[in-house]
Amino acid sequence: MDPGRLDRLMRLQSPSETPDSAGQLPGTYTTVGTLYARVLMRSGIEQATAAGEASIGRCSVRIYRRSGVTAKMRLLDGATAYNILFVPPVSADPVYMDLPCEVVNAVS
């Protein structure tokens, strides 16, 4: 992956930690930052889910290294959400973070 081509502007989002009136976490996200990224698709499958069919892809998303990124977060590129699966240690690369992600899109 060419590190000079961070060509997508994405939103880094964290899950809401504030429970609703019933005491449940609402499943919403809050944007904590905007950053440039590059997505490299690795693999993909289609499978049946309770809501119908969905395509599931695994990819790596490269961003400039920043503190506070966790595996609970996601990156949002338009309507496409990339769920972060793992955050590599700083020693792996002091400048960039290659985040393994899963993207799930409903199939129309």
Q: Which helix (H) or strand (E) holds 106?
A: strand 96-106
Sketch the domain layout of the chain as residue ranges.
Answer: 8-106
Predicted local distance difference test score (pLDDT) of residue 17: 77
Q: What is the mean pLDDT of residues 68-95?
A: 89
Instruction: Tell which CATH classification among 3.40.50.2020, 3.40.640.10, 2.60.120.10, 2.40.10.270 matches the domain 8-106.
Output: 2.40.10.270
Predicted local distance difference test score (pLDDT) of residue 11: 96
CB 88 within 8 A of CB 50: no
Give the pTM.
0.76
- Average pLDDT value for the chain: 81
Nearest CA-CA partner of 108 in 52, 45, 56, 48: 52
Among all chains, which residue has been given the structure tokens 């976490």? 25
Alpha-carbon gap, residue 85 to 100, rounded angstroms: 6
pLDDT in tens, 26-56: 678 999 999 999 998 776 555 555 556 667 7
Predicted local distance difference test score (pLDDT) of residue 68: 94
How, if at all, do strands 74-77 and 52-64 pair? Answer: unpaired
